[in-house]
Amino acid sequence: MAYSIYALLSKDSPEITLSSLLGNLRLFFSKTDESVFIFELEEDPFDESEKNILVTWDDKWWIRFFYDEGPDVAQDSIEISKMLKSNPSPGIDNIDRRISVLFGDDESKTYTNHVIFTIDFLQEIPGVLLIDLRKKCIL
């Protein structure tokens, strides 16, 4: 089963674009000892103006990164603040920027370290609030 998290970007988070995110991901993942990983911008097949970042390993597993902002994200943040089991972060319902991360299926848990490494990357962003959508909690 695929796994996803949201990285909600507060007013204290830096400006982010898909291009800057791609550059930061390449730099961060270059620190790994992984032999084969490929980064590419991928077009949404239903809307060519929408793109995401696809990171693949050995053509067997992937992570997708999406950057979104605006009123739809703000509405989602309101819903997220309502669903959280505990909400220790005031102002979560005012956030209108996010990075959504979708991880490929990994039933064998072969890529668990990749997930952890990705979470480490996201936690380094100032002002970020990571949300585990499945567990309905803040990471």
For 101-130, the pLDDT digits (tens) are: 999 998 888 888 889 989 999 999 999 999
Neighbour count for residue 38 (Cβ, 10 Å) = 11
Q: Is there a contact between 78 and 95 (Cβ–Cβ < 8 Å)?
A: no
Average pLDDT for 76-84: 87
* Fold that domain 3-138 belongs to in CATH: TATA-Binding Protein (3.30.310)
**What does the pLDDT look like over 69-78, one tens digit per residue?**
999 999 999 8
Alpha carbons 22 and 101: distance in angstroms, whole number: 13
- Full-prediction pTM beyond 0.85? yes
Q: Are strands 137-138 and 61-69 parallel, antiparallel or unpaired?
A: unpaired
pLDDT at 33: 64
Its sign, for the CA torsion 107, 112, 114, 117, is: positive
User: What residue segments make up the domains of the chain, in order of their start?
Assistant: 3-138
